[in-house]
Structure formats: C-alpha cells, structure tokens
Structure 1
C-alpha cells in the first residue's frame, strides 16, 4: 500500500468549515511542506479557501469540495464520481478535518484509493485550554510531525498600486454572529473620531453578513477618506489587507485572515473562549466588550506611532 510509505509523493488536506476554521488550519500546510519538501500538496475545501492556499504558496493545487463530483462521497454506499476517484488515487496521504461522525466520507475515500488516511479534529472544543491551531496540528503527530509552528502565516503581495497601502486602517465591522458584534453606533463613533484625529485612511471590509451595516457606516464617512471592499474574493481581501497598517474587527474569519497576513490590530472580543479561538498572533490585542469607542481609538493609535 502507498500509505505505508514514510516518504509521500502527494499529500491531500481536506478541510471544510468557515474562513476562520480554514485559516486556523493553515499551519498544517507549511508543517507538511517542511517535513516533506519533495511532496506535492493539495487542498480539498471551499473554492475561495483553496485559492487562498495556492495564492499564498502553501499548496500546489486546490479543488472545490462543494462540486457535484464530491456529493457521492458523503452518502453511505454512494456512487462516487470516477474522475474524483482517479484524482484521489494519486495521493499517498489524505488528512481530513471534515465533520464525519459516521465515517462515511472516510470509508468512500478508502474505497477509492489506498492512501494513508488520517483523521484530524473537526472543531476544537471551548475549554480546550489551548489555541485551536495547536489542536488542529496534532493531526500530524501520527505522521511523525511534532512541534510545528502553530501561528497561521500567509504571504501575499499587496494589490495593485490603485489599492490602499501605507497608512490605512482596515476594519471589519461584522461577523457571522450578531452576538459577537460591537454595536453599530460605537463603530460609527470610532470611525468618525479616527478620521478627525488621524491622518490615515480607512478600508471597510464586508461580506454578505454585514453588507447593510458596512453600507450605513460608509454613508456617514467622507468619500475621500475611505474605501469599501464588499463581497470581494478572499484572495483579493487578503491582498488588500496586506497593504494596510493595522486592523480592527471582531471574532471572525476576516480577523484571522488579517492576523495571518501579518497585520497588528485590535480584536473586539465578545463571549467565545479566547484561549481557543483568538488569533494566535502576538500582534493582535484583545479588548473585551463592552468597551467605549475612545478606548478602542487609544489602542489603535499605538500602531500608527
């Protein structure tokens, strides 16, 4: 069997979930690359997250798990796409972080190829006492990979010269849960104070969950001092963030992305377990909600001194 080989030629990492889940799993890729630099690395996950891994040089190839060809792999005794089976047959190791409680996906993958199949943690539990990234990295221990860096890092060149660069503060005033969000009026006051007191521009980032909130906040700001990046592809968002000086956001996937591209910043934390879910970056400062806009302003100013 190929899976018995200690020197894999091709490795597949399978990861579903939201943006933050994927970013926290990123350290798995450079750890595999460092241990087996000769091996080809592929990602099977969401289209945008896969593109992000390839653009950042962390993976050589990516395929979209949401494609129709993968539907049969989630059905017991399902009819699995022949093209997908052939692609899987080229891997020596498959490392899956999918939620697969009944082992249906694993069984179908094993039937399609003789790769070594390793099951990683799908979602670390609150109260785990350590960063989710560290928990996720433990999937590599059976493969002899230990003590790898658990800080997600993503290197992307900033966007074209027309995009914001230099003294720009990026903000993401939303998240996938309203319970995590700082009140909109606080955001409005903070952004207004920022433009009054600082000679720096703003980049407002938003997706579907906070599109209306971003639009309302943008309408209250001078057009010449800010830019909105709404519903943009994830790689474009990452490149835009790479050209900024600092970041402010909530417990969200975009905050994890900002930390991964190396931005310092402030995270307005709500109720989730910070030990597990905070970005594992020393450059990101957590401020516990409720907190006043002027306190956030003082914290963010330090990144522009």
Structure 2
C-alpha cells in the first residue's frame, strides 16, 4: 500500500516537448494521490500547462537566482529555499545532475524522500515517456498509459472561442518550424500544399469546398520567424490566421479545436496532448523514441530520414484522413 504523500514537488526543466513527455508520469502521480498538493519547479511559461489544470496546484520558477547555490558544492544554502524543499513529503527531480551536487544539497536541507529521474533521454532505450515514468514506477505506481494530455481551463477555452470565432470549421493548424532545420519539411512543400494548384487551394478562402479545410492557422514562435514570413508572403491574399507567440495555455485550447500538421517539435506534442488529430512529419529523429503515443497521432516518416524526400501528396492524404476521423 502506498504511503500517503500530502506535499509533492516535481522539478522539471527542459523544453516544451520534454515537459509534455513527462505528463503521463505526472498523471499517474496525480491519480495515485488525488488529494496531494503537487507543485512544479520549472520554466513558468511551460509548466503553466499543468498549473491549476489537473496536475499541479502551483508552479515556481526554476530561474530564481538564489537557486544557483544548489548547483555548487559546499555552498551556503538560502534558508528560504532550504525550508521550502524540506517542506515536501516527496521530491522528484528530472534535472541533469551527473555529479549529484543538486541531489546532495537537497539532502543537506533535510529532504528524505527524493527520487531522481533521467536528466537526459537514452537514445537506444524505451520511448522517452517510458523512461521519464521510471521514478514514478519506482514508487510502486504503474504508468500504463503513455498518452500525453493537457487540460485547458475555462479561461483558456474562452480565449480560443474568441480567437477562432470568425473561422469556419474544419480548421487546419500547421507549425512549419521545430527549432532545427533538419527536422523541418521544406518550406516550398508547405507553400505547394496550399497553392492554387495544390491539394488545399481554398484553405482560408471565402468559398471553401466540401472535403476541404475551411480555415488555416499558422502557428509560430520566435524561432520560426523565417518560415512564418515566407508563408505570410505566399498566402498574403488568403484569409489565414497567424498565431504568433501565443501563451502555451491559450495555444492548447486553440489546438484542441483543430486538425494539426507539424514536425518533431514541442508544439506537436502540445497539439497531441490537446486532443487534435495530428499528422506529424519525422525525418532524422526516431518516432519510436520521440513521437507522442496518443491514438490521435499519425506519423509520416520521410524516406531515408530526409524530410526533403517526403512528397506533398502523402501529407495531404493524411490530413484529409485526420479530418474525417
């Protein structure tokens, strides 16, 4: 029988996809202790996806300056943080800590129950979500379902209604970036997909045809400026909605109401977790390790691991299939 844990802290840095890949483990933790107060120490703009949205009651920034002392040997630890860490019945840390400096400093604070998850994913091992579930399973909690899920709040969905209110359904959302050129489908293929002679010529037009998407949303962040500007030029005469730098909590609620095409990226994980029917394009990275394990996800692998080898037709066919399912 599991010991009751009233206060639990999960320490999780990393990028958007890293955080979302951890959600199946956090869901099992929440299901095991539904009454516990769970807090997350992480990047606030990412961990907000969990704050008061099923997983956690509070989020604290990992970028807090005084936390740096916990990464130095024999440092003087701030009493405020020492007392904070010691107040938890259980701490689970996913920080990369090869020399165990952070771990030892937590123990100096009086932390008794500390589990350390993988700070980095092993490329030759099980799916990333399975690896991240290991510390939860070490507690005796089975993590059976590796599907990623986010739970938009009432306010999140209110934003999405306003953002999408003048768009006809079905809505296609695309994210043409990923943070890595090698993981991106060539920009000319995206443009061809929506050209007047392409598969979806009337997406974003005033006269959508049956069996076609009625509206198009292009999602972008700071790292996607080049792709976004090119698509803005190519689609300048179309009624296309550009979702630039939306808070992830708002974006999740928008994606919840869309069909999605993207790459191996954090935004693709967010779309899958929000419940969008997804078509994900994989090139050099391994979907058996990194792709969301959700049933609403279809993966297209590029021949030879090069996305330049993936033609437009199979992507269009997969998108139509996602719209129909």
- Give yes or no for the alignment of 1:149 onto 2:145: yes
* Among candidates 169, 173, 193, match of residue 170 of structure 1: 173
Which TM-score applies when normalising by structure 1?
A: 0.92
Report the alpha carbon displacement of residue 82 of structure 1 after superposing the two structures with TM. 2.5
- Residue matched to 2:80: 83
Q: What is the TM-score when the length of structure 2 is the normalising length?
A: 0.87
Aligned with 2:98 (options 86, 96, 101): 101
CA-based RMSD of the aligned residues comes to 1.8
Could you list the runs of 5+ residues in structure 1 that have no partner in the other structure?
Answer: none
1:86–1:225 distance in 2 versus 1, CA, 3 Å: same
Q: Is the 8 A contact 1:195 1:201 kept in 2?
A: no
Q: Does 1:34 align with 2:31?
A: yes
For the residue of structure 1 that corresponds to 2:219, the secondary structure is strand
Aligned counterparts, 1:142-291, within 5 A: 142-157=138-153, 158=157, 159-164=159-164, 166-192=169-195, 193=198, 194-196=200-202, 198-222=212-236, 225-244=239-258, 246-289=259-302, 290-291=309-310
What residue in structure 1 maps to residue 134 of structure 2? 138
User: Counterparts of 1:199 and 1:38 in 2: how far apart (Å)?
Assistant: 43
In structure 2, the residue matched to 1:303 is 322
Question: What is the match of residue 17 of structure 1?
Answer: 14
- Provide the rounded CA distance (Å) in 2 between the counterparts of 1:223 and 1:53: 38
> Residue 9 of structure 1 contacts residue 39 of structure 1 at CA under 8 Å; is this kept in 2?
yes
Q: Is the 8 A contact 1:168 1:203 kept in 2?
A: yes
Q: Count the aligned residue pairs.
A: 299
Deviations 1:105-134 (A, max 9, x none): 111111123330001112222221x32111
Provide closer, same or farther for how the CA distance between residues 220 and 140 of structure 1 changes in structure 2, counting only shifts above 3 A: same
Contact 2:146–2:294 (CA under 8 A) maintained in structure 1: no
**Contact 2:171 2:213 (C-alpha < 8 Å) held by counterparts:** no
Provide, for residues 12-69 of structure 1, a one-character-per-residue CA deviation record: whole Å limited to 9, x for no partner: 1111111111000011222111111221111111111221111422111111101112
Maintained 8 Å contact 1:91/1:115? no
Q: Where does structure 2 lack aligned partners over 5 or more consecutive residues?
A: 203-208, 303-308
